[in-house]
Amino acid sequence: MAGHNKWSQIKRKKGALDAKRSKIFTKLMKEITVAVKEGGVDPDGNPRLRLAIQTSKAANMPKDNIERAVKKGEGSDAGNYSEATYEGYGPNGVAVFVECLTDNINRTVQNLRTMFNKSGGSLGTSGSVEYLFDRKGVFVAKLDTEMPVKEDELMLELADGGAEEVEFEEGYVTIYSAMEDFGAVQKKVEELGLELESAELQRLPQTTVKVEDPEAVRKILRLIDWLEDDDDVQKVYHNLELSEEVMAELE
């Protein structure tokens, strides 16, 4: 699955995750609020809430924020959010899939259409790119650099827990699972005492589009940044693949 999480890796290396921490927390709190409103406050009986809380903890969101979002979901001011997904193509035919939580569909559609058009891409119809992605569980854990990891042994342990694939890179391990095995793999990760940085369901591209022109790549990444910064957007997925040469030029 090399390349599937490449842009996430770039952001981690550049420290951009810290720069957007407050925006990330806002999106996570919205997800918790909606999960409580739809399924109640008990994480054991509400899989969506359980996942949202786990993702928030992995993102180091303060406990007070999580509790505040849960209380908001219980109250009358939880908001009337609708879930919506949008699909389109960025420059150079890169597929983009966007998941949203919005209280104003018309505003969201208009904002997304403007972003796609401004970047040289186009917002497509439902189903135009969804078939290009698989829904998978993705766990990213930080490894203890002071204690060398026996990769083969760890891979076997994770496979026993339901992991489909495991990747090691620069002090991190990325674990992939089928969507239905998310809970089992999550339990195994916790049993192994791995330090989770993120745990979430993602849409991973079946194939990637390799773009070698740095300027074209900048336009695509600018579109992704615009989308991720929008308050109505929860997650953005794409099938862009970056070569090491292009990555070096972007830094």
Average pLDDT over the chain, rounded to whole? 87
Q: What is the pLDDT of residues 109-157, one digit of tens each?
A: 999 999 999 999 999 999 999 999 999 999 998 887 766 678 899 999 9
Rounded to two decimals, the pTM is 0.80
**Which architecture characterizes domain 132-203 according to CATH?**
2-Layer Sandwich (3.30)
Please report, for the chain, the start and end positions of each structural domain, with discontinuous segments joined by +. 1-131+204-251, 132-203
- Dihedral through CA 38, CA 43, CA 45, CA 46, nearest 10? 30
Confidence at residue 174, expressed as pLDDT on a 0 to 100 scale = 95
How many CB atoms are located within 10 Å of the residue 77 CB?
Answer: 7
**Residue range 1-131+204-251, CATH number:** 3.30.70.980
Q: What is the pLDDT of residues 173-230, one digit of tens each?
A: 999 999 999 989 988 998 998 888 888 889 999 999 999 888 899 999 999 999 999 9
